[in-house]
Structure 1
Amino acid sequence: MLKKSLVLMGVAAAFYAQAQDVSIIRNSIDVYSGSPMVGSAKFNAMGGANGALGGDANSLLTNPAGLGVAISGEVNGTLSISNYKNTSSFGGAAIDYNKTKGNLGNVGAVMTFQLMSESAWKFINIGVNFSSQSIDNYIETPGNSNIIYDFDAANNISSSYGGHAYSRSGYLTRTSLGVGANYNHALYIGAGLNFFNTSIDQYDTARFNSTANGAAEYFNKNETPFFERGSGFSASLGVIGKVGPMFRLGASIETPTFWEIDRSYDFYNDAVYGDDTAIENRRFTSPLKASVSAAFVPSKNFSLDVDYTLGLTKPKYKEYSGADVEINNFFKDNYKNLSELRIGAEYRLKQVRLRGGYSYASSPIDALTVSRFSNDGGISDASYSNLILSDRNALSFGIGYDFGSFYIDGSYQNISSKYTNPFMFGILDTANGINSAYYSSTRTIESDAYIVSDVKSVRNNFFLTLGWKF
């Protein structure tokens, strides 16, 4: 039974879960430590690999030195249509959920200034890029009547687990301004400033069904739903150099993103305030990132680029409270530094452009052992190498046509991942100020073990870009 289960999980995971929702971990890594990588259709078709190629405003997403490669001005806009499907499986049952959403995914512009002098400096270029993506993510898990909670054992009042849902909606945007310079068409340097904004509406809801008459009752985890509005900034530096006529090497570094987050949330059963809403401000620092790139350009008709990005630090909250200390300890003990590989290629056949790409991002969290409910309602330890988030694979391809001054590009991107989804851990320890239980209007559910489902996530994205060169 939920309330009488035993805590047998790893120390770091248990310590963190006492006070906060798992979705805080997911959002800290998935939203605040990531950055929008939705660029033009060309950029997306090539898997986001352009760190040693450059030439357009999307260089500000990877290596600002790429601005210096441009020899003509350009402006483009990209329509993004995104569909995601999550399948959450538990107890031999599964629930699918899919959603399609369209928005203006990217706008970019480069202005080139050719230096009319005898100097080896050929161009100084200015670029601006706006990137936006939906961060909507809904995970609904089926129920299991074998998992029972006793509200009043003496009077035989109990309910069985009927289902659970994590619901996140919102957006993440990145606006970048940068400058790039061209030295003798052999060395390119650049710098950029990046400004981020995000909006997150997050829910964590469980349903339990009465064992007496089947009536459904809904419970919210304490401090949910919560609503966050955040802004942040970072800076980036980069360089690209030609190594012979066919090869280029690039390197860039992006500072941590320094976030300020305003957060409101609902809380329940407080000794002083009862059920009410609270507001707080949080400060978060994402990892410092470094990238290296290599490109092979044997002719004007073919190019190949490989980028590798590594996180050099770990995410961290400013410690205003014990909850901030807990999550920082979790990241310190269990977070794995970001590692991402991107490969992209383009082939030109007269005015036609054919493109393809692939990217792989490693799992951001170490393997964890937790106490969890099995399908028969029993409790045992289980180890997971993909708890909360996992590695991610993205495959893409696209086609474009160059009319001269104008061009049109289209691309398709498939992103897939599989991870295990923990929920329903929640305890009430008023003596130590800990309250992570689940609440309905009249009842409370405590559990010191997780329910864990298996989630398969597939995202299919389509992009259409219209551009003008001048």
Structure 2
Amino acid sequence: MRRILTLILGLACLSANAQNINDVLRLGLEESQGTARYQAMGGAFGALGGDLSSLNSNPAGSAIFNYGQFAISGSNYNRSNDQGYGSSFNNTTLNSVELNQVGGVFVFNSQNPNSNWKKMALAVNYDLVDSFDNEYRINGNSTTGVDQYFLGFAKGVPFGSINYDPNSEFVDDVYLEIGELQNFGNQQAFLGYAGGLISPADPDNPDGESYLSNTEYSQVNQRYLQSTVGYNSKFTLNFSGQYQENLYLGASLNFHSVLFERFTQLDEDGYNTDSPVSFSSFDNLLQTEGNGFSFSLGAIAKLNDNIRVGGSYQSPTWYYLNDNLSQQINSNLADSEIRFINFNLINFYEDYTIQTPSKVTGSAAIVFGKDGLLSFDYSHQDFSKAELRPNNDPVFEEENTFIASELGAVNSYKLGGEYRIERLSLRGGYQIIESPYADKQIMDDLSGYSAGLGYDFGGSKLDLSFVRTEQDMDFALLDAASNTAASTFTNTNVALTYTLKF
């Protein structure tokens, strides 16, 4: 009688292909999150400071505070995904509510009137760098079926290395063993073979490296679902000080926490009537968790009563991560025991590191006394220097070469303004974050505008913001396949911040 595996089985994949350029961009590209005031002004706070989320732009910003503060922020994230696939148009929307910022700053004024250091500040702050909660549903037709995903991995794989005897071997044992002793690519080739989607061109030749599709079609109908959950959060420990009257210096230590889960489901039919395969399904569940570290240095100078300039350096962020992957596949030609390859079988991969590139920011601001201000930030970040590690892993080495050839510098421009009417503040902002790709068909620039208002009650403040960003890109249904949907992603955030002064 066939035994049922209910325990979780693990393996260390010698060269996993689960980590790639998409993971680098997911962690490296950051939108403006933070307090409502920070978001309303487009994140242009590098020369301003005086806001807990300004530490994201310049760690010297906490030295601008004249007294201690505590702030807490919540946001509603609305995501609208428009996607064209084949001859079909699809829209998916998702709402989520998050506590996206909480922190405080303590200000210590110098007791020595002759000291050059006028005050010191200590700040601690939590920020939600990115919420991964999202959903994509795509229905449409394509001239490229899922068989091409498996044929791509099977090319050059000796049939003998993935062949098995279904009368004496369990299909799930073979699946795990190939992943452990060979590699991710061979495991995917086996999955396509056991799932009935591909077959060896010469089944009697164990050294044969050619495979054929068991599907016949001019186009196929595909139904795709991707659901992601998780977050990239950052805890910041910040120190800063005011030197003499016009110079502010600061440094921050940043500790990241990452949790990401992606479930994908691809169902396919619409093959020719004489096709051996009449339907197929392919599901994946990827889970990533880990932590990261970075540091930042910055300075703000008051050139006169009205003009401030700032500069900051954000070190690379080193993320230490681990992945696990579960899969399931089916078709009318699949192994009769294919159901035992399911989400109870988990592939555990070796721990790895993602190093996102450093960032430099230059800022300038004009302050019109108590009436308002204008602020501008420019940042530069070279994504061709991003890396997957360890470097001696041949798959990572190949992917790093690909990253260096595909990605380039990202320049971002942020503009913000504030106008005060007694206790009421009106705010607005605009931002452009350039695409890391030279080919903007893959990913276009991200642009967005923001607005907000705030009211100062004296001992406390309440701030509200609205942010809308938009970006076009080609959305890949599977990482290693050519199926893409022309997509426009629109994110709308509404944030509310309560600040208590002390």
Is the structural similarity TM-score above 0.5?
yes
Distance 2:437 2:266 in 1: 25
The aligned amino acid for 1:80 is: S
Distance 1:45 1:425 in 2: 35
Instruction: Report what 1:444 is aligned to.
Output: none
Instruction: Report what 2:4 is aligned to.
Output: none
Q: How does 1:266-281 map to 2 (within 5 A)?
A: 266=326, 275=341, 276-280=345-349, 281=351
Distance 2:146 2:352 in 1: 35
Distance 1:287 1:401 in 2: 38
1:292 aligns with 2:367: no
Residues 291-317 of structure 1: CA distance to partner in whole angstroms, max 9, x if unpaired? 000010121211111011111462101
Distance 2:22 2:353 in 1: 16
Identify the match of residue 217 of structure 1 among 280, 291, 299.
Answer: 280
1:363 aligns with 2:435: yes
Instruction: Report what 1:174 is aligned to.
Output: 234
Instruction: Report what 1:8 is aligned to.
Output: none
Residue 225 of structure 1 aligns to a residue whose secondary structure is strand
Q: How does 1:341-380 map to 2 (within 5 A)?
A: 341-367=413-439
Residue 465 of structure 2 aligns to a residue whose secondary structure is strand
Instruction: Decide whether aligned partners of structure 1 residues 265 and 144 sit closer, same or farther in structure 2, where only a CA change above 3 A counts.
Output: same
Instruction: Report what 1:395 is aligned to.
Output: 449
1:65 aligns with 2:91: no
Q: State the 1:156 CA deviation.
A: 8.8
Where does the alignment leave 5 or more consecutive residues of structure 2 unmatched?
Answer: 1-14, 148-196, 200-211, 330-339
1:203 aligns with 2:269: no
The aligned amino acid for 2:484 is: V
Question: What TM-score do the two structures reach when normalised by structure 2?
Answer: 0.75
Residue 338 of structure 1 aligns to a residue whose secondary structure is strand
Residue 397 of structure 2 aligns to a residue whose secondary structure is helix
Question: What TM-score do the two structures reach when normalised by structure 1?
Answer: 0.80
1:311 aligns with 2:308: no
Instruction: Report what 2:75 is aligned to.
Output: 80
Checking the alignment, whether the CA contact within 8 Å between 1:36 and 1:172 is kept in structure 2 is no
Distance 1:237 1:148 in 2: 50
Q: State the 1:401 CA deviation.
A: 0.6
Q: State the 1:72 CA deviation.
A: 0.9
Instruction: Report what 1:240 is aligned to.
Output: 300
Q: State the 1:36 CA deviation.
A: 6.5
| Larger Rg, first or second structure (1 or 2) | 2
Distance 1:425 1:462 in 2: 32
Residues 71-93 of structure 1: CA distance to partner in whole angstroms, max 9, x if unpaired? 11111101111010111102221
Task: From the two aligned structures, give the one with the greater strand fraction.
Answer: 1
Instruction: Decide whether aligned partners of structure 1 residues 35 and 245 sit closer, same or farther in structure 2, where only a CA change above 3 A counts.
Output: same
Q: State the 1:176 CA deviation.
A: 0.4
Q: State the 1:97 CA deviation.
A: 0.6
1:134 aligns with 2:166: no
Residue 244 of structure 1 aligns to a residue whose secondary structure is coil
Residue 305 of structure 2 aligns to a residue whose secondary structure is coil
Checking the alignment, whether the CA contact within 8 Å between 2:465 and 2:494 is kept in structure 1 is yes
Distance 1:140 1:50 in 2: 37
Q: What is the aligned-residue RMSD (CA, Å)?
A: 2.7
Checking the alignment, whether the CA contact within 8 Å between 1:56 and 1:74 is kept in structure 2 is no
Distance 1:282 1:412 in 2: 37
Residue 218 of structure 1 aligns to a residue whose secondary structure is strand
Instruction: Decide whether aligned partners of structure 1 residues 197 and 19 sit closer, same or farther in structure 2, where only a CA change above 3 A counts.
Output: closer
The aligned amino acid for 1:144 is: N
% of aligned pairs identical? 28
Q: State the 1:60 CA deviation.
A: 1.5
Residues 397-418 of structure 1: CA distance to partner in whole angstroms, max 9, x if unpaired? 0011101011111010001111
Distance 2:436 2:304 in 1: 37
Q: State the 1:155 CA deviation.
A: 12
Instruction: Decide whether aligned partners of structure 1 residues 283 and 409 sit closer, same or farther in structure 2, where only a CA change above 3 A counts.
Output: same
Instruction: Decide whether aligned partners of structure 1 residues 147 and 312 sit closer, same or farther in structure 2, where only a CA change above 3 A counts.
Output: closer
Distance 1:193 1:152 in 2: 51
Residue 236 of structure 1 aligns to a residue whose secondary structure is strand
Checking the alignment, whether the CA contact within 8 Å between 2:232 and 2:259 is kept in structure 1 is yes
Checking the alignment, whether the CA contact within 8 Å between 1:226 and 1:265 is kept in structure 2 is yes
Distance 1:20 1:366 in 2: 24
Q: State the 1:425 CA deviation.
A: 7.0
Where does the alignment leave 5 or more consecutive residues of structure 1 unmatched?
Answer: 1-17, 368-384, 427-448
Q: State the 1:120 CA deviation.
A: 2.9
Q: State the 1:19 CA deviation.
A: 7.6
Distance 1:187 1:417 in 2: 38
Identify the match of residue 411 of structure 2 among 332, 339, 362.
Answer: 339
Checking the alignment, whether the CA contact within 8 Å between 1:89 and 1:142 is kept in structure 2 is no
The aligned amino acid for 2:126 is: F
Checking the alignment, whether the CA contact within 8 Å between 1:125 and 1:180 is kept in structure 2 is yes
Residue 368 of structure 2 aligns to a residue whose secondary structure is strand
Distance 2:436 2:451 in 1: 26
Checking the alignment, whether the CA contact within 8 Å between 1:391 and 1:417 is kept in structure 2 is yes
Identify the match of residue 87 of structure 2 among 78, 92, 98.
Answer: 92
The aligned amino acid for 2:138 is: T
Residue 379 of structure 2 aligns to a residue whose secondary structure is strand
Q: State the 1:461 CA deviation.
A: 0.4
Report how many aligned residue pairs link the two structures.
405
Q: State the 1:203 CA deviation.
A: 3.0
Distance 2:213 2:108 in 1: 81
Instruction: Report what 2:497 is aligned to.
Output: 465
Instruction: Report what 1:322 is aligned to.
Output: 394
1:249 aligns with 2:309: yes
Residue 21 of structure 2 aligns to a residue whose secondary structure is helix
Distance 2:96 2:84 in 1: 24
Identify the match of residue 283 of structure 1 among 353, 364, 381.
Answer: 353
Checking the alignment, whether the CA contact within 8 Å between 1:80 and 1:104 is kept in structure 2 is yes
Instruction: Decide whether aligned partners of structure 1 residues 198 and 355 sit closer, same or farther in structure 2, where only a CA change above 3 A counts.
Output: same
Checking the alignment, whether the CA contact within 8 Å between 1:36 and 1:174 is kept in structure 2 is no
Q: State the 1:189 CA deviation.
A: 0.3
The aligned amino acid for 2:386 is: P
Q: State the 1:149 CA deviation.
A: 7.4
